[in-house]
């Protein structure tokens, strides 16, 4: 614990956080704007145009129903791509060596990047939520669930992006997971539909998708309606997060992809 709390390590942690935050704020047209635009389009097309012809799901309008999923999607994808592109960029320019030679522990590097990515995830999530307010009224049912789930998911996906960047050898390697794994899983993750609309078999299959569990837990907090037990959602995110922490620390200690 001393590793995090000691004064020099707090300074180091703050340095990474400041660097990461200035980075994504400076290039906001690439980091914050895209989510704002796509979510606006979703609200117009799915929410307004198509949604007006769809029955309410679990008693909420379709427009309201898609808000939590789109907010969570923004959180997950932005948190992930922030650390993966920023840390891979540092590897690519070799400026990551500035951190590796310094006296800060690996743990601080992990915490700093993870927190930095999570910050961008949460910020874009807030932007999407604010945009949704232009289209519909959301009465948040449980702030505790919403905030906890937003923070935990942001941290989880941010850390996932870091691990991706540690393994990545070229730029293609950092876009692979978001494009071919995360995005499909988010669309299958119940942003636009409730699994109660699926046949029993496909319901079981859909539940294997961790993102569906996350989105649904988040929706419970926001709208008070979900298909799963929120306790399971939290357990899942926490367990996955702990696994990734252990994995990431092991990679950093070994120097995988960083030290020869």
- For another protein, the binding residue among 49, 98, 130, 242 (CB under 8 A) is 98
State yes or no: residue 59 binds another protein (CB under 8 A): no
Looking at residues 76 to 95 of the shown chain, list those that interact with another protein (rule: CB under 8 A): 89-90, 93-95
Apex 224 CA angle, 204 and 114, nearest 5? 75
Give min distance, CB of 121 to another protein, in A: 23
For residue 60, list its beta bridge partners: 57
According to the binding rule CB under 8 A, does residue 48 interact with another protein?
Answer: no
Does residue 97 belong to the site contacting another protein (CB under 8 A)?
yes
Does 99 contact another protein by CB under 8 A? yes
d(Cα 229, Cα 211) in Å, to the nearest integer?
14
Query: What is the rounded distance in angstroms from the CA atom of residue 244 to the CA atom of residue 250?
Result: 10
How far is residue 249's CA from residue 226's CA, in Å, rounded to a whole number? Answer: 34
Contacts (Cβ under 8 Å, ≥6 apart) of 213: 207, 228, 232, 233, 236
User: Helices (H) and strands (E) in the chain — how many of each?
Assistant: 13, 0
Task: List Cβ neighbours of 197 (8 Å cut-off, separation of 6 or more).
Answer: none
Question: Mask: binding to another protein, 102-141, rule CB under 8 A, as x and -?
Answer: xxxx------------------------------------
Question: Which C-beta is closer to another protein: that of 13 or that of 70?
Answer: 13
- Candidates 11-19, 65-73, 169-177, 221-229 — which segment interacts with another protein by CB under 8 A? 11-19
How many amino acids of this chain bind another protein (CB under 8 A)? 29
**List 32, 100, 188, 236, residue binding another protein (CB under 8 A):** 100
Locate 108 and state its tokens: 């601080």
Sites of contact with another protein (CB under 8 A): 6-12, 14-16, 18-19, 89-90, 93-95, 97-105, 255, 259-260
């Amino acid at each position: 614990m001393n590793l995090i709390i000691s004064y020099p390590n707090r300074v180091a942690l703050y340095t990474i956080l400041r660097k990461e935050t200035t980075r994504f704020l400076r290039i906001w047209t690439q980091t914050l704007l895209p989510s704002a635009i796509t979510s606006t389009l979703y609200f117009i097309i799915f929410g307004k145009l198509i949604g007006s012809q769809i029955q309410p799901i679990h008693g909420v309008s379709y427009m309201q129903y898609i808000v939590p999923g789109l907010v969570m999607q923004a959180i997950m994808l932005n948190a992930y791509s922030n650390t993966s592109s920023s840390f891979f960029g540092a590897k690519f320019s070799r400026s990551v060596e500035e951190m590796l030679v310094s006296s800060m522990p690996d743990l601080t590097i992990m915490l700093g990047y993870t927190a930095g990515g999570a910050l961008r995830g949460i910020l874009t999530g807030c932007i999407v939520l604010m945009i949704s307010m232009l289209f519909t009224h959301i009465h948040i049912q449980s702030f505790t669930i919403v905030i906890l789930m937003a923070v935990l998911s942001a941290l989880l996906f941010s850390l996932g992006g870091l691990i991706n960047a540690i393994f990545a050898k070229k730029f293609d390697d950092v876009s692979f997971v978001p494009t071919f794994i995360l995005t499909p899983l988010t669309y299958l993750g119940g942003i636009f539909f409730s699994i109660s609309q699926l046949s029993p078999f496909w319901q079981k299959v859909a539940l294997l998708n961790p993102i569906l569990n996350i989105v649904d837990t988040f929706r419970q907090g926001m709208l008070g309606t979900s298909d799963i037990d929120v306790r399971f959602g939290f357990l899942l995110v926490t367990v996955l997060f702990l696994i990734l922490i252990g994995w990431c620390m092991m990679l950093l200690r070994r120097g995988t992809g960083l030290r020869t």
